[in-house]
Every structure is written in structure tokens, then in C-alpha cells.
Amino acid sequence: MTRTIKLADGKSIPALQWGNGSGGLNGKHDPALEYGITALRSGVKAIDTAELYKTEVATGEAIKQVGAKKADIWVTTKTHLDCCSAVPATAEAIKANVQDRLEKLGFKPDLLLIHNPFVVEGLKIAQFWTALEDLVLDGTLEGVSLGVSNFRPQDLEAVLGVARIKPVVNQLEYHPYVLTHLQPVLDIQAKHGIVTEAFGPLTPVLRHPTGGPIKPILERIAERLSKETGKKVDTAAVLLLWTVGKGVVAVTTSSKESNIKKIVQVDNELPDLTKEEIDEIESAGRKVHFRYYAEHMTEDFPAPNLPEDL
């Protein structure tokens, strides 16, 4: 099976994806090509890339080299005209940026995101969104879904206030230890049918100093699944199952073939967690706050007054 999540525009997005971004590849073209080929040959059905990662060319080339049909591989990319750019704040500049994305990939992506809400000086985020909508309507991005990334409540409200086409996803750091902070974002998304995409979904396993209060819960579930399936299931796999069990797309980045194959194992070979297990992980996670990518979400959106561990 390939787990999918239905988007508001009717498309079905793969729930487990491999990212070729800065988490493990440092934006280098050759490794992104090499590991992209490995991912596709391992059975990965979705690749997340971006202008900022400098891996769009490698994404298109990997699909070509393995002989895959583009229609069978979901590709997400992101545009990165931000506050530090010297590009003039015009709709023409946005169109040129989007056309550069298409040229580097060699095709239209399935999903195009605004990488962050801090757009070029003089151009409000609502204007940026309107310019992207215009590109859908004029045919440049016909058939492409639009979304956002790292959007706080105020950013979502600004876009939704003008949107003719609502964003279908918001990609942000998402795992049990940021749930309390994200609740206002999640409430807006639920109201408007916006799906959450998680980057850094394995942060509690990979980056938290101790693993925090969900660690023993993940270990217990991993032991249960290992016994029931006869396969070695670790806590990272359990956390990915929790993420998709929440109706969230999980995007995880790795250059290790064994970890890349784990995405496929979770997708194809492991059963869903029970509702009780999903709720138990969430309840424990909401009692602490630990964010790894702090620069994306904390400006004018303060973190909750919670400990980082218990």
C-alpha cells in the first residue's frame, strides 16, 4: 500500500515522503542525485525539494535516470523570494522565479509552496499569494497545487483574506513537542481544510537530548509492532506512523540507504497505530516544548511556557 492524504483540491498526496533538502544533503547536487536514485529505486513515491536546497535539477534527473514516470512520483518544490533577496518586489519577478523552478525540474511540480512568509521588502505575503494564483489561472501553473511553509497564524490569515485558491498545505516543523505551540495554526488549518506537512518529524528521536517523555511510549509500541509483524521496528518508525496517523504528511530527510528504505517499510509493511497509542503520544508530547528549527516560527509568535523535558 501507499498511504495517501486527500487535499482540499481533490488530489491525493503521498503521506510519507523523502526530502532532498538541507537536513542531510547540504544542498549539494551530486549527493542529491545519488540518493534520489536510491530513494526511487527503494520504492519512495514522493520527493520534496526547493529552490533554496539547490536540488531541483537533481530531482528531475533522478526521476529520468531510474526510468520512472513523472505521473507516478509526487514532487513538491518551494519558491524562495524572501526578505533578503535583491530581486525587485514585482509579479514579474515571481513569475520569473516560478519559471526557473519549472526549468530546473524539467516539469511542473505537483505542489508549489511559498518557502517562508518573510517575502521581499515591499511585497506583502497576500500579494505574493495573489501572484501565484494568477499563474495558475493563466496556465503557467495549471494543474499545480499551491501551499505554504512555516506560516504562523497571522500569515495564514493574511493569505486566506484574499485567497481565490486556498493553500492546500502548510509545511512546518511538526512533532509531539511542538503541538501546544502550533495549536492556533492547527485550528486555522482545520477550519479551512489545510493539511499539515511535517518536516523534522523525527526531531524527538534524533535531536532531543534525552528523547523526552514520549521516548518510553515509542519504545513500548516499537516492541509491540516488532513482535506482531516479525520485523525490526524502531522508535523512528513508530513516530512516522504517529505522524501519518494524525493525518499529517511526513517529510524526512536522510542520506543513509537504510533510513531511506525505512520510509518505504513504514509505508508498505507496518500497520497503523491504535487511536489510544496516537492519543497517548500526543498527550505526553503536549506537556513539553522543544523546537529545533526555531527561526521559522517564533518571531511574533511566542513559544508556550513549557519545559523542554520532564
Q: Following DSSP, what letter does each residue of 22-84 receive, concatenated?
A: TTTSTT-HHHHHHHHHHHHHHT--EEE--TTTT-HHHHHHHHHHTT--GGGSEEEEEE--BTT
- Beta strand pairing call for 169-173 and 74-79: unpaired
Length of the chain: 310
Running DSSP on this structure, what letter comes out for residue 169?
E
- Please choose, from the candidates 257, 267, 238, the residue with its C-alpha nearest in 3D space to the C-alpha of residue 37: 257
Alpha-carbon distance values, 221 to 15, 175, 277, 280, 305 (Å): 20, 17, 8, 11, 29
* 115 labeled binding residue: yes
State the virtual CA torsion across 225, 230, 231, 237 in degrees, nearest 10: -10
User: Cβ contacts of residue 254 below 8 Å, gap of 6+?
Assistant: 18, 23, 24, 35, 260
Running DSSP on this structure, what letter comes out for residue 199?
E
* pLDDT of amino acid 57: 93
Domain segments of the chain: what residues?
Answer: 11-205+247-270
Give CA–CA dist 35/44, Å, rounded.
11
> Angle at Cα 89 formed by Cα 131 and Cα 188, nearest 5°?
50
**pLDDT tens, residue order, the chain (310 aa):** 689 999 999 999 999 999 997 544 544 456 889 999 999 999 999 999 999 898 999 999 999 999 999 999 999 999 987 655 656 668 888 999 999 999 999 999 999 999 999 887 767 899 999 999 999 999 999 999 999 999 999 999 999 999 999 999 999 999 999 999 999 999 999 999 999 999 999 999 999 999 999 999 999 999 999 999 999 999 999 999 999 999 999 999 888 888 899 999 999 999 999 999 999 999 999 999 999 998 779 889 999 999 999 9
Would residue 53 show up in a list of annotated catalytic residues for this protein?
Answer: yes
pTM of the model: 0.95
* pLDDT of amino acid 294: 82
* pLDDT of amino acid 24: 46
Topology at the third CATH level for domain 11-205+247-270? TIM Barrel (3.20.20)
* pLDDT of amino acid 118: 86
* pLDDT of amino acid 87: 60
State the virtual CA torsion across 267, 77, 128, 122 in degrees, nearest 10: 120
